[in-house]
Amino acid sequence: MRELAADGVPVAVACRMLTLSRQHYYRWLSQPVTDAEVTVAYRANALFDAHRDDPEFGYRFLAGEAETAGERMSERTAWRICRDNAWWSAFGKKRSKNGKRPGSAVHDDFVQRDFTADAPNQLWLTDITEHPTSQGKLYLCAVKDAFSGRIVGYSIDNRMKARLAVNALDSAVARRGDVAGCTVHSDRGSQFRSRKYVHALHRHGLAGSMGRVGSAGDNAAMESFFALLQNNVLDRRTWATRQDLRTAIVTWIERTYHRRRRQLRLGRLTPIEYETTMKPAALAA
């Protein structure tokens, strides 16, 4: 502005060309740095010193440390200054999962959280869980029939690949026989979006369905089974070998869950008893 004025350009014309207000320009000339900006600078210095000394402190603790140093401010002000300068707690900042984002769905959601079925092999639910052992993680993919809650197929492996989900689906089809037209609902995990899994669905005449990203309720009925497994098997002890955990999982599913655990929604029957009782009626209907 001063250079333009030295060349004989009036201030009003220069301000109009630079889309500035003359009042703001003259106010800045009289006080280039405002009192508010000076106050923010002192507060930021106090917060920075506290953050440098204790990187694990969040903005609330930093505000307390700044007040001790003589710069009193509200927690909201401390949060705003920390946000503007990207001063995050070493423990509070969420990390991304390897920079990966969930992929797009290969199927629509045909279930819409209605986990009910009038007959066997109308709606299957599937998901994958994992648990550590001294030898490394063990992965379980299970397929659950929404009609009776029975685990109609499962696969256990040391690696979480697409083959894990495909094997679980194949075992369910082998156990149930003709299941063409059944809907298989899952989340958007890469195993269920893989080409191998989609081909397995088409090979058996099954219809795929997928819930939304980050919405556990879209597959809540399957999550409830894994919660039971977690409480009754996985978290009961530490597991030395994968084989020990594999044996415990299979034993609990086949002996306890299917044949001994009575469910209130099934009229206090086990999944096997419920299917034995209700299957003739379902077939007749």
Q: Rounded distance, CA 126 to CA 211, Å? A: 11
pLDDT band at 258 (very low <50, low <70, confident <90, very high): very high
CA angle 27, 33, 35 (to 5 degrees): 95
Average pLDDT rounded to a whole number, residues 99-117: 76
Q: Rounded distance, CA 57 to CA 52, Å? A: 10
Name which residue leads in pLDDT, 122 or 27.
Answer: 122
Query: In the chain, what percentage of residues exceed pLDDT 70?
Result: 88
Average pLDDT rounded to a whole number, residues 67-79: 90
Residue 145 neighbours by CB distance under 10 Å: 24
pLDDT in tens, 165-196: 999 999 999 999 989 999 999 988 889 999 99
Question: What pLDDT, on the 0 to 100 scale, is given for residue 101?
Answer: 57
Name the pTM for this structure. Answer: 0.63
**Does the pLDDT value for residue 97 go beyond 70?**
no
Name which residue leads in pLDDT, 88 or 96.
Answer: 88
pLDDT in tens, 3-62: 776 777 787 777 777 777 777 777 767 766 777 888 888 999 999 988 888 787 788 888
pLDDT band at 281 (very low <50, low <70, confident <90, very high): low
Residue 69 makes CB contacts below 8 A (sequence gap 6+) with 46, 49, 50
Average pLDDT rounded to a whole number, residues 53-76: 86
Question: What pLDDT, on the 0 to 100 scale, is given for residue 113?
Answer: 87
Query: In the chain, what percentage of residues exceed pLDDT 90?
Result: 48
Average pLDDT rounded to a whole number, residues 111-117: 88
Q: Rounded distance, CA 201 to CA 248, Å? A: 29
Q: Rounded distance, CA 198 to CA 190, Å? A: 11
pLDDT band at 238 (very low <50, low <70, confident <90, very high): very high
Question: What pLDDT, on the 0 to 100 scale, is given for residue 285?
Answer: 43
